[in-house]
């Protein structure tokens, strides 16, 4: 089987993909980069991800960047883990919506709030609309539980759950009761706990 290597830094958004790798329960290697030392901007790594960002994942000859894309890829590539909604299942549309909602709505809404613009942008011009609507839509989706897709835990929970978890941890997102209980439930998963423990060890 083709080897999996995660280009990783801790703490960083790469934690999302480490959790996903633990969920699929396949062997993988870690290529650790120090963001503090600027390893992510060195020529060697720019050939892996010209954006100079972590994470990136190498699987055999293919290299994938962008945490949500990596989670989507792994879920489809390793269907035995039952973390995807396959092509042909009508629910895949909703599943993909949530996978894209993380990087295209939650993340920019959160970062625009953390680093406000000098001039207010028109709501219609922003892909996410406005912060409060994004929060309301996510709160409603996670309130039903236990997972975004109902009874099935999927890669979408890894992406959205991580976004909410780290957003609240860094005080960039409100600690809404729906977010808190959803994240608490997700972080009890053995794969999430393994990923945290391994990253803690790396960071020590």
Site track for ligand GSH across 10-49, x = CB under 6 A: --xx---------------------x----x---------
165 is a contact residue toward ligand GSH (CB under 6 A): no
Rounded CA-CA distance 76/92 in Å is 11
Residues in a beta bridge with 128: none
Chain-centre distance of CA 43, in angstroms?
26
Asked if 128 and 104 touch (Cβ cutoff 8 Å), the reply is yes
Chain-centre distance of CA 53, in angstroms?
14
- Of the ranges 52-60, 138-146, 173-181, 194-202, which one interacts with ligand GSH (CB under 6 A)? 52-60
Q: Cβ 60 to ligand GSH, closest distance in Å?
A: 20
Quick count: other Cβ atoms within 10 Å of Cβ 128?
Answer: 18
199 is a contact residue toward ligand GSH (CB under 6 A): no
Asked if 57 and 7 touch (Cβ cutoff 8 Å), the reply is yes
Asked if 106 and 138 touch (Cβ cutoff 8 Å), the reply is yes
Q: Cβ 15 to ligand GSH, closest distance in Å?
A: 9
Closer to ligand GSH at the Cβ: 40 or 192?
40
Rounded CA-CA distance 188/170 in Å is 20
| Three-point CA angle 135, 140, 143, nearest 5° | 115
Q: Cβ 143 to ligand GSH, closest distance in Å?
A: 25
- Of the ranges 51-59, 109-117, 144-152, 170-178, which one interacts with ligand GSH (CB under 6 A)? 51-59
Q: Cβ 144 to ligand GSH, closest distance in Å?
A: 26
Considering only residues 56 through 85, tell me which ones interact with ligand GSH, judged by CB under 6 A: 66-67
Binding site for ligand GSH (CB under 6 A): 12-13, 35, 40, 52-55, 66-67, 103
């Amino acid at each position: 089987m083709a080897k999996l290597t995660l280009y990783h830094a801790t703490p960083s958004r790469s934690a999302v993909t480490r959790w996903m790798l633990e969920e699929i329960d396949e062997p993988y290697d870690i290529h650790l980069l120090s963001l503090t030392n600027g390893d992510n901007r060195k020529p060697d790594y720019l050939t892996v991800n010209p954006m100079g960002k972590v994470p990136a994942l190498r699987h055999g000859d293919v290299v994938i960047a962008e945490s949500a894309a990596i989670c989507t890829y792994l879920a489809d590539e390793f269907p035995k883990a039952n973390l995807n909604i396959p092509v042909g299942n009508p629910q895949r549309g909703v599943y993909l919506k949530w996978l894209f909602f993380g990087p295209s709505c939650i993340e920019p809404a959160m970062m625009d709030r953390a680093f406000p613009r000098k001039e207010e942008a028109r709501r219609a011009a922003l892909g996410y609309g406005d912060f409060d609507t994004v929060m309301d839509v996510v709160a409603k989706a996670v309130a039903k539980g236990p997972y975004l897709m109902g009874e099935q835990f999927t890669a979408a929970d890894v992406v959205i759950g991580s976004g909410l978890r780290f957003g609240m941890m860094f005080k960039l997102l409100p600690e809404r009761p729906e977010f808190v209980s959803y994240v608490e439930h997700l972080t009890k998963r053995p794969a999430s706990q393994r990923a945290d423990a391994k990253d803690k060890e790396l960071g020590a």
